[in-house]
Amino acid sequence: MTEALRGLLKSRLFWIALCGTVVLVTLPWVVSAYVLGILTVAYYFGVFAMSWDLLFGFANEVNFGPTFLIGSGAYAAGLLNASGAPIWLCLIAGGAAALVGGVVLAVPALRLSGPYFGLTTLVAVLLLQQFIVIFASRTGGEIGLTMNDILSMDTTTNYWYALGFMAVSGLILFTLSRSAVGLILQASGQDRIGASALGFNVVKHKLAAFCISAVFSGLAGAMLVFYLGTASVGTVVDVSVGVQVIIAAVLGGRRTIVGAAIGSIFLIVAGEALRPLGQLSTFVVSGIALLVILFFVDGLMGLLLRGREET
Amino acid sequence: MTDLRAPAAAVSVPLLDVRGITKRFGGLVAAKDITFQIGAGEILGLIGPNGSGKSTVMQIIMGIHRPNAGSVRVTGVDVAGWPPHRIAQQGVGIVFQHSRPLHRQTVLENIMLGLLPDKLLKLAADRHVREKAREIAERVGLGGVLNRKPGTLPFADLRRMELAKAIARDSQVVLIDEPFAGLTTGEVAAFARLIADFRNDGRAVLLVDHNVKSVAALADRVFAMYLGERIAEGTPEEVTRDATVRRVYLGGGIEVATRPARNARGAALLQVENVSVLYGKAQALECVSIHVDEGEFVSVVGLNGAGKTTLFNAISGLVPYSGRISWDGKELRGRSAAAIARHGIVHCPETRELVGDMSVRENLDLASHHLTAAQAAQQLEWLYHLFPRLRDRERQIARTMSGGEQQMLAIARSLMMRPTLLILDEPTLGLAPVILEQISNALEQLRNTTSITVLLGEQNVTFALPHADRIYVMDHARIVWEGEPSRFAAEVADTYL
Amino acid sequence: MLELQILIDGFAISALYALGAVGFTLMFGVSGVLNLAHGATMVVAAVTAWVVAGQYAVNPWMAAVAGTGAGVVTAFATYFLIVRPIQRSRSVPAAEKEIFVLTGTLLWGIMIQEAVAYFYTDNPKTVRPLLAGVMQIGGVRTPINELLIAVICWSVIGLLWLLVNRSKAGKVLLAASINPRALTLLGFELSRVYLMVWLIYGVLAGVAGVLLATFLGASSAQASQLTASAFSIVVLGGLGSVSGSLLAAYIVGYLETMTAYLISPTYRTIPALVLLVLVIYVRPRGLLGRR
């Protein structure tokens, strides 16, 4: 265990994340409730993006429909809550439902390559969406599902929940990325044949990566809907939400985990800040993201860490 | 090369026991009834030219392919058909021909990977793993670059890292694929010592290479393959002197037909000066200078990997290079590959690059795109005359033709473009002798009836010699000999292998 | 006469799907690009036709030409601003170029969609039918425009087939989709081949967009749905296979029409999605796919 800890402490990314978290912790005494609300959503988004980055950075699979996992978790939690279960049970159910979804997604993935896998993930989202619409009587369809319970009425408490969740998830995912298992996962993703030649069961490890990504996505999705008070297609299932998750991770810096969180915060805050532009806000944000992937391929983390990790 | 072979010792229970391995890919028999054993503390060299099937055999032992027949026993257990990771766990380690480092991890982490068990729940490596990795790195000479990323390392160090990973695996059987490609003579010696260490540790080593010389000094025994079959087996001396092996590599007895004396020496058409090419970190070509005069037929001979293809790729603009290549006095640098082709330098590559799903006629039509209808028709008629088989198969889809027919189509296609210089790379690769005869005759006809200039690259010396006005010999990315065919037999032939 | 109605409507819708899908698959087959700004390109063509018809009061045919031109312009913009820079970039590792192109075209599509919505709102735009009036076919009243759409789509597809299989330039395109290196060795500049593909693509997407506007109307909000449909059809048929896309377009078109008429319009897209999932699990390379 001490090896893992030592590895963590040596990492520049870890210290950046730690400093960032400390700053974020102090915010409730500094900013308005409005800002805290925006950041709360951004933190849940951060977990979406970090889970996506784990799958991408390790299994080397680009998931074009992360909202399949997020939505499964969110709706499972919501539906269970509608029949009276307490929040903690619903959260567990959300994670479990997403886990099942992750396995379902992994099965074709491990046989497909290139654009086919991407399409499978996209189709999964479309199917989930249709499913929700058909069973509108139970799921609330396009309008959405109102939750029976919510996490808290108080803005600051909700902020702590979200920040805490993001910090803990981030720590777990980040530690994983730096661990021995993480190393094996990276090898499996980058070079399947090379990893097999070293005696590693690539399929087993990729499946594990899917499951981890799924559990965190689903859990985050469940927590988000308990925060918002409703679960709707537009917030947790729609393809456009999935696209934003990918943009956040790429913008922040692929394969850094920490970058995904930073990218999400940037994206959500920028989206809000540009709200006065009305319709054009999406245009501008997409434009910025496009410029980033064209000119700053390694994202915000790449800019921050540029040159220092070279030699 | 210093002789590193072990003193003659009794071969005990074989660690690797390959029997009757046969593999078919569609209609092609890549390996036929291959049998050999390697005991502990032994190095077996598996040699053969490209297309001989040695890579297929290695891939079957590794688990990448499943054999159609036969067994592969590792320490007594039959692993044929197992998935690669299980075979690796059973005790087979591999040093790949092309280094495959994890680019985002340090050298130390790359080596540690070889020491980790296949467990999902291991968050932290055992304490001794890091230490052991460090030791292994020191042993191969990477002690000073432990914390660097592979992208910053020179080529030889990347190869060292591959060896280190294999050492980390601590496998009973080690497969080593073409270990010396791209290394300088000094580096080759160091690597040979490391490979000998594997053997001295009591492992069974299978050394796969097409370069007979480098294998001969290191291997205890040699197994030679050609077109999927065993052609010789024995000590290195026995195998290099074996008549069949010599024929396969040299193409047979070296005969030189007296060429009609060339009176007027044509102007130097192609001038290659001090050209070097780097593939990533590997030195594929080192300060090569050649020239081809108008109307000449120049052959560049050398074993696979000597650098012939790289040289041709540099001339036709397919790879970046340093140095100067000029055509008719003007530098070629800066022109696109397509422009160079349009300018009269037509390259018929080793891989032929036919448009497989199109017919013979369609392939030829593509080549005549820039000609007028009359010119195209005339050229087509001439080509059908040169290669009658193509006329018969005009409508046949290219990819369904035999290797020999595809080669004829490739050459015909290049000739359709009415080249001033035809660059022909390894036309005889994998072809049966009968087809070689036909292609050889076609080249002779070409020689006698047109004023075309030809640059031929070949491993098969018997094929390359009769038509040539001049020969260059390449070895390890350099030109090592230049001269007329008549002097080749006397000066070079014996040391060629 | 429900069956006949389904037959006719299905035919027209499928023809439109086919035109959209063929462009998409050609682009992938020849240059390896999955253009996720496809739907947006069609929408631009549709809206341009609407604007030109409305503001300059020209006849629908001129508007159609203008719309197709806009499709071509958008296609070239996608190539020069997004796809080519990524393909030539030295900082993107080769293995990730495909993903970057996908994400880049996706973002670009969103930008176009939002820009159109900003200037023209996202209400569906329709263009007056190219030929007005209705016809009676076996007792079913069918707008002539609908038949015309099927005819135009198939004519364009037919022209494309002639181009690829019977013309010299077309053979070059076909060769590019099989072995681009062969073309370089034969003296063809691949950059020019790619320009040709994007031009053809622009025309195909442009015509499809304009026809959509005359038939069902097009709005910027539909852009992603249009891309998703084309993508699904192409994968169902087999990435890179033109005949596969045609077959798949008809299967999907008819499945949708039958579901809409016989079950309910809301569930229109489901059978096709289910079929797609089955194909991905059972035969990932598609119905007529090569690899």
* DSSP-assigned letters across all residues of C135-147: EEETTEEEEHHHH
Band of residue B260 on the pLDDT scale cut at 50, 70, 90: low
For residues A146 and C193, the model is more confident at C193
CATH number reported for the structural domain that contains residue C252 in this entry: 1.10.3470
Chain B hits for C183, Cβ within 8 Å: 338, 366
Q: How far apart are CA B228 and CA B29, in angstroms?
A: 7
Q: How large is the average pLDDT for residues A221-235?
A: 91
Reported as a single tens digit per residue, the pLDDT across B187-201 is 888 899 999 998 999
In chain A, residues with a C-beta closer than 8 Å to the C-beta of C100 are 293, 297
Strand B77-78 and strand B453-458: pairing? unpaired
Q: Which two tokens stand for residue A7?
A: 């590895």
Interface test with C, best of A113, A117, A130 (most C CBs within 10 A): A130
pLDDT tens for each residue of B126-156: 778 889 999 999 999 998 889 898 988 888 8
Report if residue C290 sits inside a domain.
no
Confidence band (pLDDT; 50, 70, 90) for B8?
low
**CA separation for the pair B73, B90 (Å, rounded):** 10
Cβ neighbours, 10 Å, residue C159: 11
Residues of B in contact with C178 (CB under 8 A): 355-358
Number of domains in chain C: 1
Q: Enter the tokens of residue B400.
A: 């369904």
Chain B CB contacts of C181 under 8 Å are: 353
| A34 vs C: CB within 8 A | no
pLDDT tens, residue by residue, B204-251: 999 998 777 778 889 999 999 988 899 999 999 898 888 888 877 766
Tens-place pLDDT, residues C183-242: 999 999 999 999 999 999 999 999 999 999 888 888 888 888 888 888 889 888 988 888
What pLDDT score was predicted for residue A12? Answer: 80
Residue C278 falls within a domain, yes or no? yes
Give the pairing type, strands B69-74 and B14-25.
antiparallel
CA nearest neighbour of A51 among A183, A163, A166: A166
- A108 and C103 within 8 Å at the Cβ level: the answer is no
Q: Is C169 on the interface with B (CB under 8 A)?
A: no
Cβ contacts of A131-134, under 8 Å, gap ≥ 24: A132/A71, A132/A75, A132/A233, A132/A237, A133/A233, A133/C266, A134/C266, A134/C267, A134/C270
Nearest to B472 by CA among B213, B285, B264: B285
Long-range own/partner contacts, residues C49-52 (CB < 8 A, 24 or more apart): C49/C127, C49/C209, C49/C210, C49/C213, C50/C125, C50/C126, C50/C127, C50/C213, C51/C120
Closest chain C residue by Cα to residue B335: C189
Q: For residues A269 and A289, give the distance between their C-alpha atoms in angstroms, rounded to a whole number.
A: 14
> Are the CB atoms for B315 and B272 separated by under 8 Å?
yes
| 3-state DSSP assignment of residue B137 | helix
Q: Are A115 and C108 inside 8 Å of each other by CB?
A: no
pLDDT at C102: 84
Closest CB to A196: pick one of B85, B116, B127: B85
Question: How confident is the model at residue C3, as a pLDDT?
Answer: 82
Q: What is the pLDDT of residue B255?
A: 56
CB proximity A282 to C under 8 Å? yes
HEC letters along B241-293 = HCHHHHHHHHCCCCCCCCCCCCCCCCCEEEEEEEEEEEECCEEEEEEEEEEEE
Judged against a pLDDT cut of 80, whether residue B12 lies above it is answered with no
User: Could you give the CA distance from residue C181 to residue C201 in angstroms, rounded to a whole number?
Assistant: 22
pLDDT digits (tens, 9 = 90+) for B269-328: 899 999 999 887 777 888 999 999 988 999 999 877 788 999 999 999 999 999 999 998
Among the partner-chain residues B336, B356, B417, the one whose CB lies closest to the CB of C186 is B417
| pLDDT at C50 > cutoff 50 | yes
**Cross-chain Cβ contact C91/A297 below 8 Å:** yes
Q: Is residue A223 within 8 Å of A268, Cβ to Cβ?
A: no
Which residue on chain C is closest to B399 by alpha carbon?
A: C178
The first and second tokens of residue C168, run together, are 């010299």
Name every residue whose Cβ is closer than 8 Å to that of residue B172 and which is 6 or more positions away in sequence.
B15, B40, B74, B75, B91, B92, B203, B204
- Residue A310 has a pLDDT of 38
Q: Which chains touch C (3 or more CB pairs under 8 A)?
A: A, B
Cβ(B308)–Cβ(B474) below 8 Å: yes
Distance CA C275, CA C256 (A): 12
Q: How far is it, in rounded angstroms, from Cα A107 to Cα C284?
A: 13
* C201–chain B nearest CA distance, Å: 23
**ipTM score for this prediction:** 0.84
DSSP at C218: B
| Predicted local confidence at residue B457, as pLDDT | 94
Q: pLDDT category, B256, cuts 50, 70, 90? A: low
Report chain B's mean pLDDT, rounded to a whole number.
87
A85, A142, A143, A236, B300 from A137: Cα distances, Å: 19, 11, 11, 18, 78
Tokens of A272: 């809000």
Q: For A14-45, write each residue's pLDDT tens digit.
A: 888 888 888 888 888 888 888 899 999 999 99
With cut-offs at 50, 70 and 90, classify the pLDDT of residue C270.
confident
Selecting from A184, A198, A208 the residue whose C-beta is nearest the C-beta of B169 gives A198
pLDDT value at position A64?
A: 83
Kindly identify which residue of chain A lies nearest to residue C276, measuring between CA atoms.
Answer: A123
Residue B263 has pLDDT above 50, yes or no: no
Strand partners, A146: A230
Q: What is the DSSP string of A178-240?
A: HSHHHHHHHHHHH-HHHHHHTT--HHHHHHHHHHHHHHHHHHHHHHHHHHHSEE-HHHHT-HH
Quote the CA–CA distance of C129 and A51 in Å, as a whole number.
Answer: 49
| C12 near A CB under 8 A | no
Strands B92-95, B77-78: pairing is unpaired
Interface test with B, best of A183, A202, A255 (most B CBs within 10 A): A183
B333 sits in the region (left: phi over 0; alpha: psi -120 to 50; else beta) called beta
Contacts of B82 in chain A (CB under 8 A): none
Query: pLDDT tens across B314-368, in order?
Result: 999 999 999 999 998 899 998 999 999 999 999 999 889 999 889 999 999 999 9
Q: Report if residue C258 sits inside a domain.
A: yes
Between CA B230 and CA B225 the distance in angstroms is 5
Side chain identity at residue A13, one-letter code: L
Say whether pLDDT at C262 is over 60.
Answer: yes
Please give the backbone phi and psi of residue A145, each rounded to the nearest 5 degrees, phi first. Answer: -110, 125
Each residue's pLDDT tens digit, B94-133: 999 888 898 888 999 999 999 998 887 777 777 788 899 9
Instruction: Report the percentage of chain B scoring pLDDT > 90.
Output: 50
Residue C115 lies in a domain: yes
- Confidence (pLDDT) at B463: 85
Is residue C289 in some structural domain? no
Query: What is the percent of chain B where pLDDT is above 70?
Result: 93
Residues of A near B (Cβ–Cβ under 8 Å) read 1-4, 175-176, 179-181, 183-184, 186-187, 190-191, 193-202, 204-205, 208, 255, 310-311
pTM for this entry: 0.83
| Burial degree of B391 (CB within 10 A; 0-12, 13-18, 19+) | middle
* Distance, C-alpha A35 to centroid of its chain: 21
Task: Tell me how close the Cα of C178 comes to any Cα of chain A, in angstroms.
Answer: 18
- Looking at residue B497, its pLDDT comes to 61
Domain that holds residue C170: 2-282
Residue-level pLDDT at A309:
47
Six token digits for residue B452: 């075309």
pLDDT for the residue numbered B7: 54
Does the pLDDT of residue B84 top 70, yes or no? yes
Q: What is the mean pLDDT of residues A151-157?
A: 86
In the prediction, which pLDDT does B259 show?
Answer: 56
Residue A302: closest CA among A267, A261, A251 = A251
Residue B114 touches partner A, C-beta closer than 8 Å: yes
Of B94, B127, B149, the CB nearest to A197: B94
Question: What is the average per-residue pLDDT within A242-251?
Answer: 87
The most distant pair of C-alpha atoms in chain C lies apart, rounded to whole Å, by 63
Any domain includes C287: no
- C104 touching A (Cβ < 8 Å): yes
**Residue whose entry in the numeric block shows the structure tokens 């540690």:** B112
Mean pLDDT (chain C) is 88
Is residue B404 within 8 A of residue B431, CB to CB? The reply is yes
Instruction: Single out the residue of B349, B327, B474 nearest to residue B407, CA to CA.
Output: B349
Burial class (CB in 10 A: 0-12, 13-18, 19+), B440: middle
Q: List chain A residues with CB under 8 Å of C281.
A: 107-108
Q: Match 């054999």 to its residue by tokens.
A: B67
Cα separation, C7 vs C13, whole angstroms: 10
**Cα maximum dimension of chain B:** 78
Assess contact for B419 and B379: CB atoms under 8 A: no
pLDDT of residue A105: 82
- pLDDT, position B254: 54
Q: What average pLDDT does the segment A112-116 reach? A: 70
